[in-house]
Structure 1
Amino acid sequence: MITLSSELLSLQQKVRDFIQQEVIPLEKDPRQDSHGPSEELRQELLSRARKWGLLTPHASQEMGGLAWSHLEKAIAFEEAGYSALGPIALNIHAPDEGNIHLLDIVANDEQKQRWLKRIVSGEIRSCFAMTEPTPGAGSDPSMLQTTAVLDGNDYIINGHKWLITGADGAAVAIIMAKMEDGTASMFLTDTDVDGFILERNMNAMDSCFTGGHGVLRFENLRIPKENVLGEIGKGFQYAQVRLAPARLTHCMRWLGQARRAHDVATEYARNRQSFGKRLGDHQGVGFMLADNEMDLLTTRLAVHYCAQVLDAEQKANYESSLVKVISSEGIWRVIDRSVQILGGQAMTDESIVCKIFKDARGFRIYDGANEVHRMSIARKLLGKQI
């Protein structure tokens, strides 16, 4: 779908106005570093979104959200993504966005009241601890090394995690661990407890995720049975519940960032003089701008298509794999061409495109490396499992 109803156009304009008026003016705010915005800046952004009625719109109404459809999210999240601070302001950033979706579906009432409602309100943040250093789980979650052993009424968790987005400052964590029978389960825990250790923050290429990317260690972390998320042994199944929609929302947000880079490059090409004419009038530059437009349109169509599949209450694992690869590679081409058009200025933080370039590179890796998605697509095609 690309022709929008009047209601969707109104929503699009509302989020666009919010980003322009309330978020972009804070992009140079000093309350952020290489590990993302500070908690103080995050709370200010949340406060502004709350006043506009745009806070955590994807959550269920019961939990305090607006229960937006996937198509509504596709339109609004792209607009929010126009600024790296936009998803944080609307409380639709990773990993909280995916965790909210997972908890809404799987958590019991007590867990929702204890943790989910507070994440939805923006009071606290969460993290999702699955990825591990070698030889642990990465693209292949079956390689989990973190263990959970039943001890009376508790599970004892031991293991090592890394690249855990938002770990620093998160109040609650969802931990994936391997059971004694080889299955996997998910566990909820507060982070200010004995045995939950944030070893360090990793110096990552990107700086758009609140809390950066942390290394965690669990040393005899004791988690009561009542904090098991869902049922024991269904961790891999629940991971799919989380990953398909969260994978698509990444595509939505990064589409906004790519559009921002393209807009900056287009404006520059329109006004910069080179060899006696506008930069954009040189065919080499003009063609790059045209290619950007095609990649943006292709990505948007793919995202809207998958959103409608999800809105039809289909799993969309296959479709989200297709769209994740299409989107991550399409937006990267757009951003890379934009850097080339801007030339030297895009190599420094004088241009927002420099930050977008560094932030966006990881998209081809996280939420499943593109090669893994291609492998999954091919397997389903050959096995006719679509």
Structure 2
Amino acid sequence: MDFAFDARTEELRAKLLAFMDEYVYPAERIAHEQRAGLASPWETVPVVEELKAEARRQGLWNLFLPDEEYGAGLTNLQYAPLAEIMGRSPQIAPTVTNCAAPDTGNMEVLAQFGDEAQKKQWLQPLLAGEIRSAFAMTEPDVASSDATNITTHIERDGDEYVITGRKWYISGAMHPDCRIFIVMGKTDPDGPDIRRQQSMVLVPRDTPGVTVRRAMQVFGYEDHYHGGHAEVIFDGARVPVSNLIGEEGGGFAIAQARLGPGRIHHCMRLIGMAERAIELMCRRAVSRDAFGKALAQQGVVQNWIADARVSVEQLRLLVLKTAWMMDTVGNRGAHTEIQAIKIATPRTVVGILDRAIQLYGAGGVSQDFPLAELYAGARTLMIADGPDEVHQRSLARRELKKYR
């Protein structure tokens, strides 16, 4: 395993680091001020649109897609350090480079499983950043950590599918530019194979019977930059049969294919969040005095910073190994590693952010510093894309199988 950055990665890293310093970090406060003047909090602030144009001009666009036909053609190992850099400003950087979830996962699904008509109608404008999208899978009335529990019905009626169900925490659905939902539901609820009961269909947001009921908060945050997280009702919404993605019964497999890259992308960005937290801790520690000496001279603060550095270096190596395995043996071959980083990274980064918040005192939980919002995002990832306990259960079973 060789994790040294190749020439292309080094070139993109240099461009992205400069882009972050010159444009993204200054835009954080500007965006916050501009949002206060918007008619709707879900509108895109002007500075974000300006940065999107600049990112495209610099070639920092669609870096996440390994398919050269649609994206930058980078491997997971090449993309990992770039996603880490973007993770240092997770509200701004992924959005302005068109590398933000849930659009990334939806583009991957359309690129891999969509037909030519679906790609032309939905993938192309998503790649161009002209529209946004949402992925409707999680439901409030069942334990969605087990995707076979999904109760939304997708029933065929002639040349149409009729969708009925209730979803929530549907990321991106509040954004005014969200035009399309990828909806997972059951086309064969009584089928003998519980992993072949589900299908995915494309449902335009303006379809009659689709209601975006409300925005869901995450620790009090509405996540405006990513288009929020909505409760969505599908009440007999009808779409053509041609809106089926792949085949009937293929929804569960498509979901797993979508979630693998999504999980590692989240972990890559989480390392960037941890690096931002360490930087903020160090700046605070050398600039504040307490009880007659700088915080940087307090033993407990030194321990926090040292432990954070060790943890980040360990996590980065595990994420890079996972990226390398996904590139060399595929997502299925890297299943154990994907689950390992999904367990280890969010919980470790939450701990680092918690110490950083503690160091900042009241400022740490305020809107004047990014730590509280970073914490909310990191803590959520212990649940999103499968809670820790589900991954622990699966990973343990795979380990135990070796001894049976």
- Taking structure 2 as the reference length, the TM-score comes to 0.90
Structure 2 contact 216–222 (Cα < 8 Å) conserved: no
**Mapped partners of 2:251, 2:112: distance in 1:** 14
**Mapped partners of 2:28, 2:94: distance in 1:** 13
Is 1:132–2:139 an aligned residue pair? yes
CA shift for structure 1 position 37? 6.3
Gaps of 5+ in 1: none
Is 1:119–2:126 an aligned residue pair? yes
CA shift for structure 1 position 313? 4.2
1:359 is matched with which residue?
Answer: 377
1:174 is matched with which residue?
Answer: 182
**Mapped partners of 1:296, 1:339: distance in 2:** 17
Q: 1:12 to 1:87 in 2, by over 3 A?
A: same
1:52-71 matches, cutoff 5 A: 52-59=58-65, 60-63=67-70, 65-71=71-77
**Mapped partners of 1:137, 1:339: distance in 2:** 32
**Mapped partners of 2:329, 2:253: distance in 1:** 17
Residues 317-336 of structure 1: CA distance to partner in whole angstroms, max 9, x if unpaired?
A: 32211111111111111111
CA shift for structure 1 position 58? 2.1
Gaps of 5+ in 2: 192-196
2:44 is matched with which residue?
Answer: 39
Is 1:227–2:243 an aligned residue pair? yes
> Letter of the aligned partner of 1:269 in structure 2?
A
Q: SS where residue 381 of structure 2 aligns?
A: helix
1:1-386 matches, cutoff 5 A: 1-28=2-29, 29=31, 30-32=33-35, 38-41=43-46, 42-59=48-65, 60-63=67-70, 65-84=71-90, 85-134=92-141, 136-169=142-175, 170-180=178-188, 181-182=190-191, 183-205=197-219, 206-208=221-223, 209-315=225-331, 316-384=334-402
**Mapped partners of 1:96, 1:342: distance in 2:** 34
Structure 2 contact 199–247 (Cα < 8 Å) conserved: yes
Structure 2 contact 63–74 (Cα < 8 Å) conserved: yes
CA shift for structure 1 position 90? 1.1
> Letter of the aligned partner of 1:19 in structure 2?
M
**Mapped partners of 1:168, 1:37: distance in 2:** 7
**Mapped partners of 1:32, 1:261: distance in 2:** 24
Structure 1 contact 31–37 (Cα < 8 Å) conserved: no
Residues 74-133 of structure 1: CA distance to partner in whole angstroms, max 9, x if unpaired?
A: 010110111121111111111111111121111111111110111111001111000001
**Mapped partners of 2:163, 2:371: distance in 1:** 42
Identity %: 34
CA shift for structure 1 position 355? 2.2
Structure 1 contact 137–145 (Cα < 8 Å) conserved: no
> Letter of the aligned partner of 1:271 in structure 2?
S
Structure 1 contact 31–38 (Cα < 8 Å) conserved: no
**Mapped partners of 2:136, 2:159: distance in 1:** 22
**Mapped partners of 1:160, 1:138: distance in 2:** 12
CA shift for structure 1 position 297? 0.8
> Letter of the aligned partner of 1:67 in structure 2?
G
**Mapped partners of 2:7, 2:358: distance in 1:** 37
Residues 25-52 of structure 1: CA distance to partner in whole angstroms, max 9, x if unpaired?
A: 111223447x976324443332121111
> Letter of the aligned partner of 2:125 in structure 1?
R
Q: SS where residue 183 of structure 2 aligns?
A: strand
Q: SS where residue 116 of structure 1 aligns?
A: helix
Structure 2 contact 347–379 (Cα < 8 Å) conserved: no
**Mapped partners of 2:257, 2:346: distance in 1:** 21
Q: 1:256 to 1:100 in 2, by over 3 A?
A: same
CA shift for structure 1 position 383? 2.5
Structure 1 contact 130–137 (Cα < 8 Å) conserved: no
Residues 343-375 of structure 1: CA distance to partner in whole angstroms, max 9, x if unpaired?
A: 222121122222222232211110111111101
Q: SS where residue 233 of structure 1 aligns?
A: coil
> Letter of the aligned partner of 2:80 in structure 1?
A
2:194 is matched with which residue?
Answer: none
Structure 2 contact 42–174 (Cα < 8 Å) conserved: no
**Mapped partners of 1:36, 1:306: distance in 2:** 37
> Letter of the aligned partner of 2:214 in structure 1?
R
Q: SS where residue 203 of structure 1 aligns?
A: coil
> Letter of the aligned partner of 1:345 in structure 2?
G
Q: 1:324 to 1:254 in 2, by over 3 A?
A: same
**Mapped partners of 1:2, 1:326: distance in 2:** 20
Q: 1:31 to 1:171 in 2, by over 3 A?
A: farther
Q: SS where residue 215 of structure 1 aligns?
A: strand
Aligned-pair Cα RMSD in Å: 2.0
**Mapped partners of 1:365, 1:67: distance in 2:** 30
- Taking structure 1 as the reference length, the TM-score comes to 0.94
> Letter of the aligned partner of 2:244 in structure 1?
V
Q: SS where residue 133 of structure 1 aligns?
A: coil
